[in-house]
Amino acid sequence: MLESLKQQILTADDIGIIILLVILAVLCSGSLYGIFRFFHRSRIIDDTPTSKIRSAHQGFVELEGDGRLMKGTPIVSPLSGQHCLWYSFKIEHKVKEYDIGPSNNYALTNSSWETINSGVSDNLFLLADETGICVVDPEGAVITPSFSKTWYGSKAFNATDAASASAALSLARFIGSNDYRYSEKRIDVGEPLYILGRFKTIGGRREKLDKKGEVRDLLTKWKNRPDFLLAGFDENGDGEIDMDEWQKVIVKAEQQVEKSFGERLVQPEIHTVSRPIDSRRPFIISVESQQAIAGKYRWYSRGSIVGFFFGGITFAWVVGIRFMS
């Protein structure tokens, strides 16, 4: 077999060899990136201690608890119509290509799936442990769901209509058509969750208040409203904000921020967890345990090591045969 491959490499055109070497180089570089990325994530999961919601520090934390819905309008998965904490869905249509055969009959030559509708939930939900409740913003998280299913049907339907979804699923079972493919992932209500992300408390005396930052943001907002500045601070009526008037704008912004701080300090604490500001830190929401997730990333790292050595050895072998023999 190796001799056959060697002959193919020796007789292949230059463009084919270049394309092969580029593919192998991409495999090596991607695998090298994966080795460090997945190992880094497994170490973060292993080294970050699990915190309780009531006593968690502000910043990057690891939490465990049960998932709950917030009060108000429930989160409903579009395809199955089930109440859940999070969902993603996709509807695909099979695109078929035909050619005219020898007997002037149309023959199927190729088919592929085209996405016609998809979506991901970004609704907030709750995480509860024995010490408190935390609001979870799932946007940007790497999510391991509790439910994942793909099925087929004979018709497209409005993805926001759960009744149509049920009808399409029933039709697929009885007719057996597969022109449409439906995929759904969910985290169901009440599932035990593992979350690694940025913990922040809003309101109460635990909230970290950044006066300079909030004054800066408020001034930026006011700069984008020149009519507001002129109406409130242009004392000499020349249509511009001079240095003296700008100092008064700053004083007003500081007073407004201090008033906001005072109001927030007496408000009840609201704990939140969301995507970390530092992109090197992962945001994970999973129904799997900490040990299972860390183990999965270690296996991904080992697989990347195999890919790196396979790509590197093959690259060197092809170069040696084609250019150095």
pLDDT in tens, 31-67: 999 999 999 999 999 999 999 998 899 999 999 999 9
What CA–CA distance (Å, rounded) separates 262 from 205?
10
Half-sphere exposure of 77 (CA within 13 A, CB side): 26
SS3 288: coil
DSSP three-state, residue 43? helix
What are 80-118's pLDDT values in tens digits?
A: 889 999 999 999 988 877 666 666 566 666 778 899 999
- For the chain, the 3-state helix, strand and coil shares in percent, each to the nearest 5, are 40, 30, 30
Q: Could you give the angle at which helices 290-323 and 14-47 cross, rounded to 10 degrees?
A: 160
Radius of gyration of the chain (CA): 29
Position 4, amino acid? S
Where would I find the beta strands (DSSP E) of the chain?
A: 50-51, 59-68, 84-100, 106-120, 125-129, 132-136, 142-144, 147-153, 180-188, 192-202, 270-274, 284-286
Structural domain spans, the chain: 2-207+269-323, 208-268
Predicted confidence at residue 151, as pLDDT, reads 87
Provide the pLDDT for residue 299. Answer: 95
Task: Report the alpha-carbon distance of residue 108 to residue 99 in Å, rounded.
Answer: 7
The confidence score (pLDDT) of residue 104 equals 58
* Cβ count near 305 (within 10 Å): 16
Give 10-residue mean pLDDT values along the chain (325 residues). 73 82 92 93 93 92 96 90 94 79 63 89 95 95 94 68 49 58 94 96 68 85 85 82 87 86 72 92 94 93 94 88 72
| Contact predicate 145/186, CB 8 Å | yes
- pTM of model > 0.75: no
Residue 264 has phi, psi (to 5 degrees) of -70, -30
Interstrand relation of 50-51 and 142-144 (parallel, antiparallel or unpaired): unpaired
What is each CA distance from 175 to 116, 152, 153, 154, 172, in whole angstroms? Answer: 22, 10, 8, 8, 5
- Return the structure tokens found at 282: 């992962």
Cα separation, 94 vs 115, whole angstroms: 9
